[in-house]
Amino acid sequence: MEKSKSQRVNITTFTEEMKKDYTILVPDMLPIHFKLIIAIFKKYGYKMELLQTNSRNVVDEGLKNVHNDTCYPALLVIGQFMDALKSGKYDVNKTALLISQTGGGCRASNYLHLLRKALSNEFPQVPVLSLNFSGLDKNPAFEITPAIALKLVYAVVYGDLLMSLYYQCKPYEKKKNATDNLLARWEHRLGKLFDDGRYTKTTSIYKAILKDFGNLEREQVKKPKVGIVGEIYVKYSPLANNQLCDFLLAEGYEPNVPGLLDFVLYCAINGANDKALYGERNKTTFLYSIGYDVLYKFQKNLIKIIKEHGQFEPPHDFEHLRAAADKYMSQGVKMGEGWLITAEMVALAESGTKNIICTQPFGCLPNHIVAKGMSRVIKEAYPDANITAIDYDPGATRVNQENRIKLMLANAKL
C-alpha cells in the first residue's frame, strides 16, 4: 500500500546534544511576551532568536510552501521560517524551529505537519519543536516541565502589563521614544529576574513597572481609543496585521489590545466547562479547573495593584468577560477564539473603548461568526459602538486595509 504524504515526510528529531550549538528560531507573534519566553528558555540551555522580518518575501515563501486555502497565520509563520532559512544568516545544519500550538478544531492544529512538509524538500535536517500543552507533539529534549510552565505564566502576565502600559503611554509621550526605551529596559530587567529567580516577587515588580511608566512625561490630552480583537495571531502579530498598532499611533489614536492572559484563561475554562456542558468528569477537566483558579488569581492580583496605583486602566476581569459572553452566546462556542471575541467586544464597548477593529484571517469561519457575525447585535446594544472587521490574506493590500480603517476612524468616538 502506498504511504500517505504525511508518512513520507522525514522528521528530524531535536536531541539533548543539539542544545549547546543550535539556534532555535521563534516566529513573531507577541514581541514583548516572546522576548521574555526566550529569556526563560535561555536558563535551560536553549539559544533562541525572535524573527522580526516583515518583507513581502515572507508572504511569497508562504505561498510557495503552503496551499493558499490554508489560513493566513500558517502561511506567514511557515513563510517567515523558510525566508530565514534561505537568507544565509543561519547555518541550516545547526538551526531548529519552534512553533506554538493550541490544538482544538482549528486548522492551526495542522501547522506543525504543514511546516515539516515544507521543510522536507529543502531543509529535511532542520528539526521542529512544538510548544504546546495538549500533547500534540512531544520531544524529550524539549519538555515543558511544571516549573517551566509556571515561568511561562509569569511571562504572560508581565508581558501583558508591559504591553498595556506601553500603549497607554506611547500616544502621549513628550519625549520621542521615551516609552520604547523604558519598555526595552524592563524587557532586559525581567529577563535577568527570570535568570536569577526573583521573578516571583510579583507585587514589588508590578509596582516598580507601574511607577516607571507613571513617571513618563505625558501630554495631558485625551485621544480616541481603538480596541483590537480577533484571531490570536493576526490580533497580536505586527507581521500579520501590517503593524496595525503603529498605524493607529501614527494616526493619533490609542490602541487598546486585550492581553494574552485572557486567551490562556479562555483555554483553561473551556476545558473545565466540559464538565458542566457534557458531564465529563475526569483528570483533564479537574486539572483545567485548578489551572483556571490559579491563573485567575494572577489576574485578580494584577488588577488590584493597577487600581491601587491609580494612573492606568487595568485589564478586564475575566469573570466579567464570561458574563459579557453569556448575554449573547453559550460558552460552548469555543472553536478558534470562540466566545472570547464577542466578550472582548462587549467589554470594550461598555468600558469606553467605542472603536473596535476585528482582525481576522480571510476565511476563518469561527472568527467570522463570533466577530463579524456578532457586531450587529453588539451595535444594537451599544449604539455608540464603532466596529469594523478587517480581513487579512496574501491578496489583501496594506493600502486597502488602511483605507478601510481610516473610513472607520472618520467616525471615531472618544
- The sign one gets for the Cα dihedral 167, 169, 173, 179 is negative
Strand order in the sheet with 23-26: 47-50, 23-26, 95-100, 128-131
User: What confidence tier does 1 reach under pLDDT thresholds 50, 70, 90?
Assistant: very low
At 241-254, the pLDDT tens digits run 999 999 999 999 99
Residue 5 scores a pLDDT above 50: no
Residue 82 scores a pLDDT above 50: yes
Residue 41 scores a pLDDT above 90: yes
Residue 372 scores a pLDDT above 90: no
At 88-112, the pLDDT tens digits run 999 999 999 999 876 666 666 678 8
Mean pLDDT over the full length of the chain: 91
Residue 126 scores a pLDDT above 70: yes
The arithmetic mean of pLDDT across residues 123-151, rounded, is 86
In the DSSP assignment, the letter for residue 388 is E
- 222 to each of 78, 107, 169, 269, 413, how far by Cα in Å? 40, 41, 11, 36, 11
Nearest Cα neighbor of 9 from 121, 137, 136 is 121
What is the reported pLDDT for 94? Answer: 97
At 157-209, the pLDDT tens digits run 999 999 999 999 999 999 999 999 999 999 999 999 998 889 999 999 999 99
User: What confidence tier does 11 reach under pLDDT thresholds 50, 70, 90?
Assistant: confident
Cell, residue 337: 477564539
Percent of the chain's residues with pLDDT above 90:
74
- The answer to whether the beta carbons of residues 345 and 378 sit under 8 Å apart is yes
User: What confidence tier does 10 reach under pLDDT thresholds 50, 70, 90?
Assistant: low
Longest dimension (CA), the chain: 72
User: What confidence tier does 8 reach under pLDDT thresholds 50, 70, 90?
Assistant: low
Residue 3 scores a pLDDT above 50: no
At 142-166, the pLDDT tens digits run 988 889 999 999 999 999 999 999 9
User: What confidence tier does 77 reach under pLDDT thresholds 50, 70, 90?
Assistant: very high
Lowest-confidence region among 135-139, 316-320, 340-344: 135-139
The CATH label, of 3.30.230, 1.10.287, 1.10.10, 3.40.50, for the domain at 18-140 is: 3.40.50
User: What confidence tier does 279 reach under pLDDT thresholds 50, 70, 90?
Assistant: confident
Helices and strands (H, E) in the chain, number of each type: 17, 8
- The answer to whether the beta carbons of residues 73 and 108 sit under 8 Å apart is yes
Residue 271 scores a pLDDT above 50: yes
What is the reported pLDDT for 104? Answer: 64
